[in-house]
Amino acid sequence: MMVGQRVPNFELEVYDPKSGSFGRISLEDLLKERKWVVIFFYPADFTFVCPTELADLAEKYEELQKMGVEVISVSTDTKYVHLAWHRSEKLLEKVKFPMGADPTGKVSKLFGVYDESTGLSLRGTFIINPEGVLVGSEINFYNVGRNAEELIRKMEANIYLMSHPDEACPAKWRKGKKTLRPSEKLVGKVHEALSREEYI
* CATH number, residue 47: 3.40.30.10
Widest CA span of the chain, in angstroms?
Answer: 58
In this predicted model, what pLDDT tens digit does every residue of 100-112 receive, in sequence order?
999 999 999 999 9
- Is 6 domain-assigned? no
Distance CA 128, CA 148 (A): 16
Instruction: Check: CB of residue 17 under 8 Å from CB of residue 105.
Output: no
Q: How many domains does the chain have?
A: 1
Closest CA to 153 of 64, 87, 84: 64
Domain membership flag for residue 182 = no
The rounded distance, in Å, linking the Cα atoms of 173 and 187 is 19
Q: What is the mean pLDDT of residues 65-72?
A: 98
What pLDDT, on a 0 to 100 scale, did the predictor assign at position 195? Answer: 85
- What is the pTM assigned to this prediction? 0.94
Taking the C-alpha atoms of residue 200 and residue 191, their distance in angstroms, rounded to an integer, is 11
Could you list the active site residues?
A: 50
Q: What residue numbers bound the domain in which 85 lies?
A: 11-146
Strands ordered across the beta sheet of 134-140: 21-26, 11-16, 99-101, 69-75, 36-41, 123-128, 134-140
**CA 143 distance to own-chain centroid:** 19
Asked whether residue 128 is domain-assigned, the answer is: yes
Q: Does residue 24 sit within a domain? A: yes
Residue 72 confidence class, pLDDT cut points 50, 70, 90: very high
pLDDT at 200: 42
